[in-house]
Amino acid sequence: MMIKTHRRCTAFTCLLAAVSLLFALPWAVHARDFDVRPGFTVVDSIAQLREVMQRDDQNIRMKPGTYRVEDTWPDDAQSVFIVSGSNNHFDLRDVTIEVPTEIYRDMRGRVHSLAGYRIHGHHNTFEGATFENTGDYPPHRSLPEFSVRGDDNRFVGCRFIIRGSAPYGYGDYFGKGRGSAVRLQKHSAMSVGGDRTVIEDCHFRIHTFGHGISIHGAQDTVIRNVHLRGDVRPTNEIYQETSGPAARFEYKIMSPPWKKGEPIPRDQVVHVTEDGIRAYTRGSRDGQTRSTGRITVENCTVIRMRGGITLTLAGPPARVENSTVIDCAHGYSLPNNSVVRNSAGNAAFGPLLIMPYSHKRGADIELELIPSEETRGDHPLASITGRGHRIRITAAEDFEPATLRPIVIGRVPGGRYTSDNTSQEELRRRHRANDIVLRNLTPHPVHLTPYAHDGEIHSRGPITDQGERNQSQRLAEP
């Protein structure tokens, strides 16, 4: 019901109205009119929302407002919400659901059994919500905010604000998986294991060491019109700490093993999140292990995450269109027979493109290199291994890079496989790049290592060829 007010009031009545409004403010948003579509049932509490999440075939409208969760799921202390119902539409427009991170600090369970929201039902739509963590406590054990295991679930027009992890502020200098030098208490935004999940018109803000969207064994995932943003930190700030893991390890890198003991580099930045959109090779559901299948990414932007759109571990194919990656530690990485079109990125703090696995083949990639506001590091523009990839990198005609970065064909990124620690046979297997067709329309140079064979290179930048049977052509300046 609309509340009517008079235009004029006495000083006393105005003061009384102002005081009343002040005390009513947390609840005022519930009192205003809001649209309810025909056939939708209204709920106005966390308890009611939890109840309807267990049922099927509903249309639910939650009253606009901010709702703060006080505890875990009543019958399952390993989650805050459990969506076991199917065929539901949850209209959560103008609704904010706050989950305090201290709840996760006290949550106990096995690895992969914990999550903020566990979605086991099928054919559910979540529309318009803001899902926000408050506080900054790390979880007792690593977990995702959303674990999507049911099929055909959709997230439309939602915002995800993720907080609370440890360690935070060091990227993966101290490890990112089993055998880490410190205990990891990661907190990712969304883990997808269900088929035909659609994430559309959503915004992710990641303030944790964890992924934005990670895909584990799911088939036909669609991510469309999604914006994901993380953070970077100047490495010089780390040296100002007098306590914590960096000081304890004397400001040395502890992971990966081939870099252990090296000083944390000065005058660089470290990406303190993990990847924006990340595919894993496989995942487990209902006791069965499944390989990750087709992924489609359309009209997405990833900013300042460790990896941008890193799908290389998925099964073929993947398709990426009209997307942009900015200020990531590495931009794009694709599986077999994938296609990238009308997409762009910079190389400010890491390569625009990496194809790190020599057994991958047949990717067809077109990328535009865009300018960076700042640039740091000695990384390449691209690092390419595999077989039969077709790659085209363009830039605006007036593009003038601050630093020339090589496109390296025939070398895995990083220092894991070097002549110091690996046999020549293993080096050839890991670094090989055969039948690569590259059209480089940027001023950056191209370097073909001894592991690059039978390639076809057209480049505006200079070409250095240490490989075998490669054909190269220097293109004229525009």
Mean pLDDT, each 10-residue run in order, the chain (478 residues): 34 37 36 84 98 98 98 94 98 98 92 92 98 97 97 98 97 92 97 98 98 98 98 98 97 94 97 98 91 97 98 94 98 98 98 97 98 94 98 92 95 82 90 98 97 98 97 90
For residue 21, what pLDDT is reported? 37
- Give the residue from 130, 69, 58, 59 showing the smallest Cα distance to 94: 130
Q: Which two tokens stand for residue 318?
A: 């993947």
For residue 477, what pLDDT is reported? 79
Q: How many Å apart are CA 153 and CA 289, to the nearest integer?
A: 20
Angle at 466 between CA 460 and CA 469, to 5 degrees: 85
b/e map of 391-422 (b: 16 or more CB within 10 Å)? bbbbbeeebebeeebbbbbbbbbeeebeeeee
Those residues with Cβ within 8 angstroms of residue 286's Cβ, 6 or more apart along the chain or in another chain: none
For residue 32, what pLDDT is reported? 54
For residue 6, what pLDDT is reported? 33
CA gyration radius for the chain?
25
Q: How far apart are the first and last CA of the chain?
A: 66
Q: Which two tokens stand for residue 358?
A: 């020599």
Count CB atoms within 10 A of the CB of residue 248. 14
- Give the residue from 173, 48, 45, 61 showing the smallest Cα distance to 127: 61
For residue 364, what pLDDT is reported? 98
Q: How many Å apart are CA 453 and CA 431, to the nearest integer?
A: 11
For residue 287, what pLDDT is reported? 85
For residue 218, what pLDDT is reported? 98
For residue 54, what pLDDT is reported? 98
- Give the residue from 190, 280, 274, 270 showing the smallest Cα distance to 226: 190
Q: What values do phi and psi take at 259, rounded to 5? A: -115, 0
Is the distance from CB of 143 to CB of 104 less than 8 angstroms?
yes
Q: Which two tokens stand for residue 343?
A: 């997409």
b/e map of 115-149 (b: 16 or more CB within 10 Å)? bbbbbbbbbbbbbbbbbbbbeebbbebbbbbbbbb
For residue 25, what pLDDT is reported? 36
Q: How many Å apart are CA 217 and CA 282, to the nearest integer?
A: 4
Burial degree of 356 (CB within 10 A; 0-12, 13-18, 19+)? buried
Q: How many Å apart are CA 441 and CA 422, to the nearest integer?
A: 35
Residue 317, CA atoms < 13 Å, CB-side half-sphere? 11
For residue 341, what pLDDT is reported? 98
Is the distance from CB of 445 to CB of 427 less than 8 angstroms?
no
Q: What values do phi and psi take at 25, rounded to 5? A: -55, -45
Angle at 124 between CA 74 and CA 212, to 5 degrees: 80
Q: How many Å apart are CA 38 and CA 44, to the nearest integer?
A: 17
Sign of the dihedral through C-alpha 232, 238, 241, 244: positive
Beta strands in 103-255 (DSSP E): 115-119, 125-127, 130-134, 143-148, 154-156, 159-163, 187-192, 198-200, 203-207, 213-215, 221-224, 227-229, 232-234
Q: How many Å apart are CA 121 and CA 87, to the nearest integer?
A: 8
| DSSP H or E segment with residue 22 | helix 11-31
Q: How many Å apart are CA 295 and CA 195, to the nearest integer?
A: 10
